[in-house]
Each structure stands twice: as C-alpha cells, then as structure tokens.
Amino acid sequence: MDALPPDAALLEDALPVAGLPARPVSLLRFLTCGSVDDGKSTLIGRLLHDAGLVPSDQMATLEKDSRRWGTTGGDLDFALLVDGLSAEREQGITIDVAYRYFATRRRAFIVADTPGHQQYTRNMATGAAGADLAVILVDARRGIQPQTRRHAFIAGMLRVPHLVLAVNKMDLVGFDEAAFEAIVAEFRRVVAPLGFASVIAIPLCAREGDNLVRPSVRMGWYDGPTLLGYLETIEPTHAEEATLSPRLPVQWVNRRSAGFRGYAGTLVRGSVHPGQRVRVLPGGHAATVARIVGGDGDVADAVAGQAVTLTLQEDIDISRGDVIIGAEDGLRPRRELTARLLWMDDTPLGRGGEYEIRLATATAGARVTVLHHAIDIHSFEQMPADGLEANGIGLVTLKLDRSIAAARYEEDRELGGFILVDRDSNATVALGMVMDDAPAPPLREWHWRSLAKGVTWRITGSIDTFLLSWLITGHLKLAGGIAGAEVFTKIGLFYLHERAWATLSWGKTGGTLLGNFRMLELVTVKMRAISARPGLRPGPSRGQESPAPH
C-alpha cells in the first residue's frame, strides 16, 4: 500500500526538501517524551506518513512489520517506523533514543523519540540535551503522570525553551473538550515554576492523524495550530548566539607541518575574525587571531556552529580542553562547581564520591563535597538528602583537581553542561548543569556561643527579677535569694532551648517546607525530653519571668 498523500492544500508545505530548488532552511531540534504508552513513537511515525515523507519501499516494510510486530490489529503500526530495536518491537515500547531527520519546504527537523519508562530516564535526558523544543505526550484517559512531571522538570532543567503539551488519544475520551482543558490546566500549574519561554497545548489522535498535519474535523472546538504547523513556525531562541563573544573549546592541536600550529574546534558561540583579540582559559593569556582555516582553506570569519582551526600571532602553550574566548568575555576558570545533577547510576551518589568530569573538551577529577538537597519530583520541592538514587535530581558542589573554563548552563549550554564518569568502569553516572554560586551554608550556633548568650541573658533577666521581687516583697534578702536561685536553672534551660532551636531551619534562608516540619518534630521531641528531666524543672517563684530566645 502506497503512502496516503496529504490534502492538496497542504501538499505544497509538506513536500520533502529533496528535489526542491536549493534554498536555506532553518533547523529545529525537538524531542518527544512523556509517560510510557502515551503514543510518542506512533505520533512521529504518523506525522512522517501524513506529511508524505515515508518512501514507498519503507511503506512496504511497514506493512510487513505491522503484521508481525504490530499492536494495532490489522492497521498500520506507525510506531514501527522509529522503534528499531528487536526488544522494542517485541515489547511494544521505546528503549533507546531514536533520531530521525526529515524536512518540509519550510524547515528541516531532527527529532529524538525518547523512552517513557522510568528506568530509561537517562535516555530521555540524552535526547533533551541541545533540543529547541519538547513535545510531552499525555494520554487523555490518564492525565498527568509522575513521569510526565519528571520529563517536564528535566526539560526545564536542561533549558529546553519551548514546550508542547500533546494530549493524545482524544478518541478514547470522545474528543471531549472538558477533558482536554482539565489536563491543560493541571499541566500549566505543574510547569509554571520551570521557566519555559512558551507552552502550547494541542489535542491529538496520533494513530488516526487528528491535528498532526491536518486540522481535525472531530475536534471543531479547537482552533489552534496543527502540530506540524506549529513546529514549522516556532522560532528557536538561539539565533542570537552569533552576535555574542566567541567561545571555542580546543579539541585538537593541529600540527600539519613544522611551521603550522593551529587550534581546532567547533565555535560554540559568537563569531570570530582575523585580528580579533582573544584570551585563552584557564591560563588567561591574551592573544590575537592570525588566521581562520576552514575545510577548504582560509576564511574571512566564522560563526557559531562552524568547525574551524584558529592560528594565533603569539606563541602560547595551548592544549585540548582549553577554551579560546573573546578578550571582553567575562568567562572565568573554576576549580569548584555548584551543579544540578541527574543521577543515572544504580549505585547511589553519596558525599565524597570521586569521578571524572567531562565538560566540552575538558576533563578533570571531581569530588562531591556537598549534597545541598534533592528534588521531590512530585512537588518540585527541595528536600534534605544523604544521597541520590537512580533518576534522582539534586544540587551538589564539586571540587575539581584542576581549573577548567565553565559557564552557567542557563548562559551557555555547551560550556555549562557536563557528564560525570566512573573512573573504574568508565560508565556515565550523571548528567550535570553548572548553576550559580552555591547557596551559603547555614550559620551554625557553636555550643560556647549558645552558653554565652544564656549567661548574658540571665544576668539581664536576674536583675529584672531581683528588682521586681524587691518591689513586691519589700525584702532585699528574699529578692536576692529568688534572683540567685533562678540564675542556675534558667541558664541550663535556655542553653538547651537554644541548642534545640539551632537545629531548626524554619525562619532561615534556604529552609524547605518538608525540612522545617521534620526539624519542628525533632525540636518538639527534644523539648519534651528536657521537660521530663526532674533536675531541670524549676519550682514556681514570685516575680519569675520565662526566658525568651535572644
């Protein structure tokens, strides 16, 4: 069976680029993600089919594979166009990241079909790295799932700027607008704190093609764009990179002849030209660009995304892992990084773990010195943690064994993203994003400070008690006895009271709601224990005041 052609009105915009007059087209990188069985692979397969981008020989193969592996009865199983592993076809799920390239008259696309199972979250993160847009699918019957939240958080963490909520399988809820709107409202609440540049929701029936390439006649209440129409018109947010200061991580020192020394790499940001002043990190040495050598010889300039070799007028010791930047660039070398990690290994992350960090072309030894907190994937709240399990997300501080050039991930995804590698197994154990400076550690009350505060407060309180007792009783000796007796009992009680409050994060910057409740419970237990000690329960005395925290 040949591929069904799209409607004549849409054919002009849906034709593949192949065979068309040569003209520049923009490139959009996007991924499909979401919970398992939400229809991600089916969506991509049907999108390619309806846009007329599946050759007839692949259609014949699809027919044959649908009869053998298909999960749609006698119909074509479009998921098989992207699910290539035998295990995926046997189980009807996506395991690996499947990349497909396709193009229309308006734009070229690279799409990553990522798995929905929690155990393959690392593969979803791989697909999201560098993406311009994420399509998160939700089954209209089930609504928002934990994996939906996790994938949305990871997309936000990796600074994917644009988000499409694709509410799929609308046919199974009778194409009900209320069901769609309820899911959209909940999803918008979930992603509100994640900082996406844009969020749009589209109701779909991917299996039957509703709102993929053509507007659905069964959802007349929806007047927004089709999925392909939106993908063709959304503008990536990285177009301004060419106007920024240049950054080139050195991948290789090119010594093609005795008199030639060049530094090869891909320009990740900005533009560069001969005569431009630059600096080399981590050393900070200044230099001037002498030549720019491309694949076909010298070029007048280079922009972000181009692989080039730079030569410099000055003789500077440069090696792989160094970064050539514009002279005005504020990028600095770092030996300590605060980073958000997505932990990928089955062995939990713990404080003191030692790994190898690979950031752009640089490598260094890295040790986890602080685990600041983990993220509750259901509420996105910070919570105290002693470690990170597989697929866990948390904020850490890494101490490096040498300085490397690193930027905040929000500013530069190439020099702000990294992986951690186990030195023994060479396995990738974490994906990381460089964040702002670490939160200031909470100030701790030393025991002697608490005791000094107790003494000074009791001196003040005892004078007040003495004066009140004297005024009420008229006896100096009795007033002095009352004030003197309470000095020792109240110092002890106030010291214990201070130590209990020192463990409570409530009222301190950086405290989390969950941590505060746990600490409040701890303080309550401690205070009950204190009050139960017979030697620390003072008897009543006239004029006596209760000490207050200082």
209-244, pLDDT tens digit by residue?
A: 999 999 999 999 999 999 999 999 998 765 556 578
Asked whether the predicted pLDDT for residue 548 surpasses 70, the reply is no
Helix H or strand E segment including 121? helix 121-128
Asked whether the predicted pLDDT for residue 506 surpasses 80, the reply is no
Asked whether the predicted pLDDT for residue 515 surpasses 60, the reply is no
Number of H helices and E strands in the chain, helices first, is 12, 25
Asked whether the predicted pLDDT for residue 277 surpasses 50, the reply is yes
What number of residues does the chain have? Answer: 550
Buried b / exposed e across 477-512, counting CB within 10 Å, b at 16+? eebeebbebbeebbbbbbbbbbbbbbebbeeeeeeb
Angle at which helix 476-502 crosses helix 513-531, to 10 degrees, equals: 140
By percentage, how much of the chain surpasses pLDDT 90? 45
pLDDT at 82: 63
pLDDT at 59: 67
| CATH (one of 1.10.10.10, 2.60.120.200, 3.30.300.30, 3.40.50.300) for 8-238 | 3.40.50.300
pLDDT at 547: 36
Least confident of 8-17, 21-30, 161-170, 459-468: 8-17
73-87, pLDDT tens digit by residue?
A: 556 666 676 654 333
Nearby residues of 57 by Cβ (< 8 Å), 6 or more positions away: none
Question: Where exactly are the structural domains of the chain?
Answer: 8-238, 246-326, 333-434, 447-536
**CATH code of the domain made up of 246-326:** 2.40.30.10
283-304, pLDDT tens digit by residue?
A: 999 999 999 999 889 999 999 8
| C-alpha closest to that of 340 among 440, 439, 441, 432 | 432
Q: Which amino acid is at 83?
A: D
Phi, psi of 334 (to 5 degrees): -135, 145
Helix H or strand E segment including 421? strand 417-421
| C-alpha closest to that of 4 among 203, 175, 213, 205 | 213
pLDDT at 41: 81
pLDDT at 51: 80
Buried b / exposed e across 283-308, counting CB within 10 Å, b at 16+? eeeebebebbbeeeeeeeebebebeb
Q: What is the pTM of this model?
A: 0.66
pLDDT at 516: 41
309-358, pLDDT tens digit by residue?
A: 999 999 999 999 999 999 999 999 999 999 999 998 989 998 788 999 99
CA dist 255 and 263 (Å) reads 9
Least confident of 266-275, 383-392, 512-521: 512-521
Nearby residues of 111 by Cβ (< 8 Å), 6 or more positions away: 29, 30, 31, 32, 44, 99, 100, 102
pLDDT band at 510 (very low <50, low <70, confident <90, very high): very low
How is domain 333-434 classified at the CATH fold level?
Elongation Factor Tu (Ef-tu); domain 3 (2.40.30)
Integer angstrom CA distances of residue 151 from 134, 400, 459 = 9, 30, 58
Mean pLDDT of 249-271: 92
Do the domains spanning 246-326 and 333-434 agree at the CATH topology level? yes
pLDDT at 544: 38
Tokens of 82: 């992207």
pLDDT at 39: 84
pLDDT at 14: 39
